[in-house]
Chain A
Amino acid sequence: MKTTIYTLIALVTLLTACNKTKVSSKRLAGEHWKVVKLTIGGTAATELPEMHFSDCDPYEEVCKGDWEIGEAHAEFAWGFNEKGKKFTLSNQYTSDGHAHGGHEQEELVELSENLSGVYDVVESSRKAMKFKSSSTVGYAGQEVILEIEKE
């Protein structure tokens, strides 16, 4: 009996350790998360969007999501790698020269472009995640810290 329990614990530990990318991905997929803090080069952004992550299997398809503020939205692709230690955001919204939907939409598309990049995963739990990068498209050389919480 003891052996069985130990073996099961070992198995669960093994499975968790071997696939942190999948665990992190499952936490986001199909869920709404809100940005609770966004700082760019030490300056805190005042307008904070929400993020809707589509349900997906990162081993089978490109995972997509949407930045959302009010009626405005901007599509992005996302994914974890390096055993859940890295997180990539990539704007996929195409505006054809103009972001349709007014000023709020333009701003959100610009944010989606600017925040595209590869982030270090600082914190990853079921309810909260924190990402950090100094190489985003719009703020290269400045540290961007993105903190999100599950709604």
Chain B
Amino acid sequence: MKNSIIALSMITTIGLAITGCKKDDDLVDVPQPVVNEPEIITSMFLMLTDSATSTPFDTVAFRDLDGDGANAPVQWDTLRLNANTTYMMNVLLLNEIPTPADTISNEVAEEANDHQFFFNIAGVSLTHTYLDQDTNTPPLPLGLVNKIRTGAAGTGTFQVVLKHQPGIKDGQQTTGDSDVDVTFQTIIQ
């Protein structure tokens, strides 16, 4: 009799345990992740200085005032350079939506260890050299301050890509997301 009571109690306990065992279906769902909008870059300026005379040569602009919106860029200059000349080239990035405009290149400089510009040249005799770098170990190029050197006359393209590589900067253009990707028609005359 005693054994029967014990057995019955055990069966009841196990039964209650199974019944009370919560299922994954009862879990409260984890909400979808919040993805905050990244900084908007509406405008890029390539500020060129003739390195021989240290005088400003030209400022070449790309301005798309609604960012990734449907409207076409309001300004998209052609990069015109003299043959066989060396230029200092500083890159300025702005968000021109707020007033006054937000200087995004300052933030890129602050976050140098997570950013790198890449310059892809096609069809023209043009070489590029980085003049700035970050504080990674070993240091990697940044690309806000540069030197470019033209060769013979010709036409082609000059692509500027800014990669955002938080914690994973490795000097490779394929790593991370692109914050900026603009191709300028280029004429060396």
Contact = CB atoms under 8 A, between A and B. Distances in A.
20 contacts: A7-B10, A14-B21, A19-B22, A47-B167, A58-B27, A59-B22, A63-B28, A77-B31, A78-B30, A81-B27, A83-B24, A92-B31, A92-B33, A93-B34, A94-B34, A96-B36, A107-B111, A107-B166, A116-B35, A137-B35
Contacts of A78: 30
A90 interface: yes
Given A14-B17, A40-B167, A109-B36, A79 B27 contact: yes
A86 to B, nearest CB: 9
A59 B6 contact: no
B166 A114 contact: yes
B167 A45 contact: yes
Interface residues of A, number: 51
Interface in B133-189: 166-168, 170
A77 B33 CA distance: 8
Interface in B108-153: 110-111, 114
Kindly list the 10 A-B residue pairs having the minimum CB-CB distance in the complex, ordered from nearest.
Answer: A116-B33, A18-B21, A90-B33, A79-B30, A95-B36, A88-B30, A91-B33, A45-B167, A7-B10, A81-B24
B32 to A, nearest CB: 7
Interface in B5-55: 6-7, 10, 13-14, 17-18, 21-22, 24, 26-37
Interface string A84-114: 0000111111111101000100110111011
Contacts of B21: 14-15, 18-19
B28 A60 contact: yes
Interface of B: 3, 6-7, 10, 13-14, 17-18, 21-22, 24, 26-37, 110-111, 114, 166-168, 170
B28 A111 contact: no
A113 B35 contact: yes
Interface string A60-88: 11110000000000000111011100001
A133 interface: no
Nearest to A45: B167
A146 B110 CA distance: 27
Nearest to A113: B35
B170 A43 contact: yes
Contacts of B13: 11
